[in-house]
Amino acid sequence: FSQLQHSTCISFCRICVITLAEAHPLLQSGKTIKSINYQISANCSRLQNKVSGKSKRGAQFLTELAPLCRISSSDGEEYTIYSCIRGRLIEVNENILSNPALLQEKPSTEGYIAVVLPKFEESKSITQGLLTQKEYEEVLLKR
């Protein structure tokens, strides 16, 4: 349930694009984004993800609760954005590092956070478990 507050997965032909959820405080409160950091820990940076070939060798494997990045706002708040699905990290959006406003101005297009590819055998159950836009809006109304 808290994942709804932070990230949304949009699925296209098994590829999942991770974006900020419409209800995320950064999109609702008019806060200014100060920085985005893909350095998850001392030993793990999502920027070090190097993918090659048809089988996506070298891609970092993510669980549903794997952090993708941390976003800091100008008021000192920090938000950790999680993968919300299991799969291989295909790419992170480096454009938001130099232009963080894209996260707020175009969150579901140029302001995406990452692209994740679920395992083929898990992709159907993952996408079936995602909320439709209408279901998502109903959950928000119940809050």
Overall average pLDDT of the 28-51 stretch? 90
pLDDT higher than threshold 60 for residue 1: no
pLDDT tens for residues 129-141?
Answer: 777 778 877 877 7
Instruction: Work out the pLDDT band at 119, boundaries 50, 70, 90.
Output: confident
The mean predicted confidence, pLDDT, of the chain is: 84
For the chain, domain boundaries? 7-142
pLDDT tens for residues 64-81?
Answer: 899 999 999 999 999 999
Q: For the domain covering 7-142, report its CATH number.
A: 2.40.50.100
Q: What is the pTM of this model?
A: 0.80
Tokens of 55: 């089988």
Of 89 and 25, the one with more pLDDT: 89
pLDDT higher than threshold 70 for residue 98: yes
**Cα gap 136→84, rounded to integer Å:** 15
pLDDT value for 2: 39
Which letter does DSSP use for residue 140 in this model? H
Query: Backbone phi, then psi, for 124, in 5-degree steps?
Result: -65, -45
**Cα gap 61→121, rounded to integer Å:** 15
**Cα gap 16→118, rounded to integer Å:** 8
Q: End-to-end alpha-carbon separation of the chain, Å?
A: 11
